[in-house]
Amino acid sequence: MEIDYREFQNLFGQVNALISKYKKVNELTGENFNVFKILKLESSEVRMHSAFIAELLNPKGSHGQKDVFLKLFVKSFCFKGVEIDTGSCNVEIEKHVGFINDDRTEGGRIDIFISDKRNNHIIIENKIYAGDQYNQLMRYHQHSEHANILYLTLGGGEPNKNSYGILKDGEHFRCISYKNNIIEWLEECRKECAVLPIIRESITQYINLIKYLTNQTLNHTMQEELSEIIKNNLEASIAIHANIDKALDKISMEFGKDLEREFEKRNLNCYYSINFKERYTGIWISRPEWRYINIGFQFQSYDKDMIYGFCCKEHPRDHPIPEELRKILKALPYNSKKNNDWWSWFNDVEPSFKNWHDFNTWKKVIDGRMKSMIIEKTNFLLELVKDIEIL
């Protein structure tokens, strides 16, 4: 396909002008201001997302609207056909349902647990960034066989097979997303409190946060204008679309080679295996003498939700970490409560680095800030385990 280069110049010029225009609009309207982002709570599953959603769902919540929001939630998401008595519901966060047994079929902590006076249950497994635990949904089903189990993620993706085992999507659990389902529910909640400005604007701030996390922050009017530009420059737009993945892959591979060279200078093995067509790919770093673990930087989705920490070198069922080492790693400071068999210690990468579908993150890849972040966190992890001998 031969295209006059002036068509590309024209397209880029129009798009850049549109982006500049709406950046100014966002500044003037204050759309970029978000209290949750300012407080750096956007990636906190428990302290932010589970807490906010649970408060809205709680009939005794501080919002004072009784079970109005919970009724909307039950109507939208419950699928077992059991009538929930919303007025009597009790809502708990991080519900402890027993210690996890050896075969991991019982116990654990449920992110949000809702129960009514008839002993009907709603279980919400909230996955913003954390990975799945082995038999996790199986354990929750074992705890409450007839519960509406909702598997909530940013994009609505399915859990790992090792989490749900023989359970069936749509029969034993249901996948829902922040991107569509939760935003739609929140918008319904906002309508119910339109004359209550504090509650209404708090919900609005949270909706805007979710749109930021799910890459939906472009103004709707801008999307309409951008669609019109693309329609009028369709041939050039299709050519760009067909090659954008190749361009990003090239940047990624150059970045990976640079990282591998950098760690080689430090006498560390580095294996760069990021592939945006697959889930759970990442960067793996270790000392030559380490037998059981790598330092990992891994996406929990295709190009989003990067975590870092100490990960098994091989599948934990085939080559498990010694129990003594696992306990030592789990006890290290700053560990996530969501640590699991694969990740004895992990934490979230800062939001501005973790999602590679965002242009501002690619800027950090290109200008060296991503490399500096990975080196800094690797040094931090090496310092944490410098006195451990059985790695």
Average pLDDT for runs of 10 along the chain of length 391: 75 89 79 80 82 96 96 95 94 92 87 95 88 88 94 91 90 95 97 95 93 76 87 90 91 96 95 90 94 93 89 86 90 88 91 86 95 96 87 71
Say what the pLDDT of residue 355 is. 85
Domain 35-213 has CATH 3.40.1350: yes
pLDDT at 40: 75
Residue 142: per-residue pLDDT:
92
pTM, full prediction:
0.66
Three-state helix/strand/coil letters over the chain = CCCCHHHHHHHHHHHHHHHHHHHHHHHHHCCCCCHHHHCCCCCCHHHHHHHHHHHHHCCCCCCCCCCHHHHHHHHHHCCCCCCCCHHHCEEEEEEECCCCCCCCCCCCEEEEEEECCCCCEEEEEEECCCCCCCCHHHHHHHHCCCCEEEEEECCCCCCCHHHHCCCCECCCEEEEEHHHHHHHHHHHHHHHCCCCHHHHHHHHHHHHHHHHHCCCCCCHHHHHHHHHHHHHCHHHHHHHHHHHHHHHHHHHHHHHHHHHHHHHHCCCEEEECCCCCCCCCEEEEECCCCCCEEEEEEECCCCCCEEEEEEECCCCCCCCCCHHHHHHHHCCCCCCCCCCCCEEEEEECCHHHHCCCCHHHHHHHHHCHHHHHHHHHHHHHHHHCCCCCCC
Non-local CB neighbours of 350 within 8 Å, separated by 6+ positions: 43, 373
Supply the pLDDT for residue 44.
78
Structure tokens that stand for 291 in this block: 């037998």
CA 91, CA 282: separation in Å to the nearest integer? 37
* Residues with Cβ within 8 Å of residue 29, at least 6 apart in sequence: none
At residue 133, the pLDDT reads: 85
Q: Which residue in this structure is represented by tokens 């649970």? A: 54
